[in-house]
Amino acid sequence: MSSLQNRVAIVTGGALGIGGATSRRLAAEGAKVLIADYVMEAAKENAARIVGSGGEARAMHVDVSKAEDLEVMVKEAVDVFGGLHILVNNAWGAKESDGTAETITESAWEYGMNAMVRAHFRAMKHAVPHMRKAGGGAVVNIASVHGQLMAERRLVYETAKSAVIGMTRQMACDFGKDGIRVNVICPGHIVTERGEANWAQRPDLHKLFVEQYPVRRTGIPDDIANTIRFLVSDEATFITGQAIAVDGGLTIQLQENMGIAQAIYGRDHPEIDYGHWE
């Protein structure tokens, strides 16, 4: 029997990238998956791909920045599949997310907090009663290495991802007694479908990124999906409240040394086009 047989999962942002790979991975293990995304064409295509492989999946239009969408999302999963056991809060979005406290607009701040912080809280609010009724469940939030280490001019994203890590730990304390585990993954640079197309046009700059990782590669969506599969399974029943970096070793390095190594690499490769990082 597959490890997630007869369990119901919601994956927000489940059409493409990390969410797309996660939807397929959970379905391959027997879970019934609700793919919640605002890109409906891609969501339907991923659901069809899962069904074509013998799994169960349903696509649903969801804008995670809207409270009412998240309430209806949970209801849909329960009504269609009969319960809820797994929630993967993966979707994110930000408008005008680059900037400082001086330059970010109020509307950009509010949208970012809605899509990347309040969305997790709201999804949990509606999911917990159904997980409790089912005898327990597992939640995986997706943060980022940007929630552990900060970058300049990224106020909205860095704040939101830091908040997701703190929220995860607090919720793990609240709901552990109900058999509900809550963990958070902090991915490094993951090359999604869009990223793959971008890097194909700039292989020199991608190589610079690769050199920052001890494993000498950037990540792929399956790297995160495989970790999620483990965290929501019975193999991980004693793991909760943890922020797990799936980052090829990026964050374990002494920054001074990595900075010098990058400077040397840049000196030896003058052909690199740094684009908007300059």
Q: What CA–CA distance (Å, rounded) separates 23 from 10?
A: 8
Whole-number Å distance between alpha carbons of 215 and 246: 12
Catalytic pick from 38, 157, 213, 265? 157
Distances (CA, A) of 78 to 83, 179, 232: 4, 18, 18
Strand partners for 11: 35, 88
Catalytic site includes residue 157: yes
C-alpha to C-alpha distance for 166 and 168, rounded to whole angstroms: 5
Q: Tokens 């804008």 sit at which residue?
A: 63
Query: In angstroms, rounded to a whole number, what is the distance separating the alpha carbons of residues 97 and 84?
Result: 33
Pick from 188, 195, 185, 192: nearest CA to 226: 185
Phi, psi of 10 (to 5 degrees): -115, 130
Q: Residues with catalytic annotation? A: 157
